Amino acid sequence: MRHFGFMHNTIVLMSVIVALMAVHLTEVVCWAGFFFHERLFSNFNTSLYFSIASYTTVGYGDVVLRDAGWRLLGGVEALAASLMMCWSTVILIQVLTKIYTRHVDDWENKELLARDRIHNPGPWW
């Protein structure tokens, strides 16, 4: 029963969220590192800014890739991010489903025990 408590479920869910955020942040930094390594931007901060804007599909347009050959990378990064967001959503839904299923199983077991006590009250003495 202690594994079904509010605090336990909150800690599990927050741990999954933090892990997913770390994965997304790692991907953003990898893209920024690639942009900086290929000298597409003058410094890493600009590369990181462009990567975050592309990854989140915000795409402000104030920082763009100048070379037409590299411009498709912004869209590729946005596409990869969309797939990663979908993947993250699936993981969160799976975790929530597991938590809910455990609760339902526990409720059903308690209900069966209660029904058994009503139908089989035991000896009258």
Q: Round to whole Å and give the CA distance between 4 and 100.
A: 9
Contact call for residues 98 and 92 (beta carbons, < 8 A): no
The model's pTM: 0.77
The residue count of the chain comes to: 125
pLDDT in tens, 89-124: 999 999 999 888 887 777 777 777 777 766 666 566
* pLDDT surpasses 60 at 74: yes
Q: Round to whole Å and give the CA distance between 107 and 125.
A: 30
DSSP characters over 55-98: HTT---SSS---STTTTHHHHHHHHHHHHHHHHHHHHHHHHHHH
Contact call for residues 10 and 42 (beta carbons, < 8 A): no
DSSP 122: -
- Percentage of residues of the chain with pLDDT beyond 70: 90
* pLDDT surpasses 90 at 52: yes
Other beta carbons within 10 angstroms of residue 17's beta carbon come to 14
Instruction: Pick 2-118's CATH classification: 3.40.1010.10, 3.40.640.10, 1.10.287.70, 3.30.70.260.
Output: 1.10.287.70
**pLDDT at 9 (0 to 100):** 86
Tokens describing residue 108: 């059903």
**pLDDT at 61 (0 to 100):** 86
State the average pLDDT for the chain. Answer: 87
Decide which of 67 and 86 is more confident: 86
Q: In whole angstroms, how large is the CA radius of gyration of the chain?
A: 25
Decide which of 19 and 117 is more confident: 19
Other beta carbons within 10 angstroms of residue 35's beta carbon come to 23
